[in-house]
Amino acid sequence: MTETGESTAAGTEPAAGSGGGRRRGGRGNKVPLGPEGTAGAGREAAYEVDAPLAPPSPAPGIFEVFRHRYLLKLLVRREIQSRYSGSALGLLWSYINPLSQFAIYYVVFGLLMGRDSVENYAVHVFCGLIVVHFFIETFNAGTRSIVKNKSLVRKMAVPREMFPVSSMLVSLYHVGPQVVILVVVCGIYGWTPDPLVPVAVLLALAIIMCLATALAIVFSAANVFFRDFSSVVSILTNLVRFSVPMIYPFRLVADKLGDTIAHYYLLNPIADAVLLVQRAFWVGTTSDPAATARTELPSDLWTYGVAMLLVSVVCLVLAQVIFRKLENKIPERLT
């Protein structure tokens, strides 16, 4: 068979001129061809063709992610199993870690430093710690999720938002043991729950789920183009602990900075989520829950909470719009 025949049989065209160069057949993995543009065995590669990459899902978006529930479940399970692989205690660490954190805060802040101005200060801090860790873990892991799963991104035509969403679900999984520890500790302190406890907790979790996932989706795409974004996120998340009423009470913000600054402070969705969890657990452990709620929490906390949930949902929608504009370029940058 002639050279031209070989080229036709191989599904390619002969090289034009002596320049050779590279002929692109679509973005993707590079496949070596022969010196005359053939794929014959034993010939030294003279130029390359890009094998096609998996295209984005034809129906992308958050709702499409949950239509791929089986794959999403596999991603979450794989991440959880890999985190505890080789560990003798395994999933027990998801309970030991929050328990040890509470013990540290109880000893350091509750006993040694004697935070008498805030009743049951260790519980106050731990309520905020649950929310902050959920946000930080989702944001950090979600930012790295596409780069971490680049082999799947290049090969599978699935909604690529699936990877930051799976990071959020892994983080949410670890919230469960933390809440269990918190409930037990609050019971020891004589916690008196009320019917609004589950509403406050669910509202707080919904705010963080939407906001952290939105940020993770945007930064996961940006991190593909510039890996510096993972370091930027680490710096940003270090600031979160001090931007919410966890180490200090909300009352301090209003007393020291005034009502106007306190209003703008409450436009931070993470701060509202922390206050909602404190409303659900910490307030009920104090000697006078009604008085504590009046003096330590904003009077319109529920209004701010619902408003910040709507803001977080809008952020999630905008994040998908931004992601759509960047998605087609993601696979070819995953080298």
Distance CA 169, CA 76 (A): 7
Please name every residue paired with 30 in a beta bridge, in sequence order, or none if there are none.
Answer: 50
The DSSP letter of residue 104 is H
Q: What's the one-letter identity of residue 29?
A: N
The model's pTM is 0.78
Burial of 294: CB neighbours in 10 Å, binned 0-12, 13-18, 19+: exposed
Q: Give 33's strand partners.
A: 47
Between CA 278 and CA 271 the distance in angstroms is 11
- Can you give the pLDDT at residue 115? 60
Q: What is the pLDDT along the chain (335 residues), one digit of tens a residue?
A: 444 444 444 444 444 444 444 444 444 444 444 444 444 444 444 433 344 444 555 555 677 887 888 888 998 998 888 877 777 676 777 777 777 877 887 777 666 655 667 888 889 989 999 999 999 999 999 999 888 888 787 777 778 888 999 999 999 999 998 999 899 999 999 898 889 999 999 999 999 999 999 999 999 998 888 887 888 888 888 889 889 999 889 999 988 988 899 999 999 999 999 999 999 999 999 999 999 999 999 999 999 999 999 999 999 999 999 998 887 777 777 76
DSSP string, 265-331: HTT-HHHHHHHHHHHHTTGGGSS-HHHHHHHHS-TTHHHHHHHHHHHHHHHHHHHHHHHHHHHTTHH
Map 88-156 to HEC letters. CCHHHHHHHHHHHHHHHHHHHHHHHCCCCCCCCHHHHHHHHHHHHHHHHHHHHHHHHHHHHCHHHHHHC
What number of H helices and E strands is found in the chain? 15, 2
DSSP 158: S
Collect all residues with Cβ–Cβ distance below 8 Å to 59 and sequence separation of at least 6.
67, 159
Rounded CA gap, 97 and 121, in Å?
19
Predicted pLDDT at 275: 97
**DSSP codes, 10-64:** TT--PPPTTT-----SSSS-EEEE-TTS---TTPPP-EEEEPPPPPPPSS-SHHH
- End-to-end CA distance of the chain, in Å? 38
Residue 36 CA: distances (Å) to CA of 4, 11, 26, 227: 9, 13, 20, 38
Are 52 and 26 in contact by the 8 Å Cβ rule? The answer is yes
Between CA 61 and CA 65, with CA 62 as vertex, the angle to 5 degrees is 90
Adjacent-strand bridge partners of 309: none
Task: Report the distance separating Cα 193 and Cα 204, nearest Å.
Answer: 17
Q: How many CB atoms lie within 10 A of CB 301?
A: 19
Tokens of 279: 């409303």
Q: Are 169 and 72 spatial neighbours (Cβ–Cβ below 8 Å)?
A: yes
For the chain, the domains span: 1-52, 62-333
Residue among 188, 207, 174, 184 at smallest CA distance from 277: 207
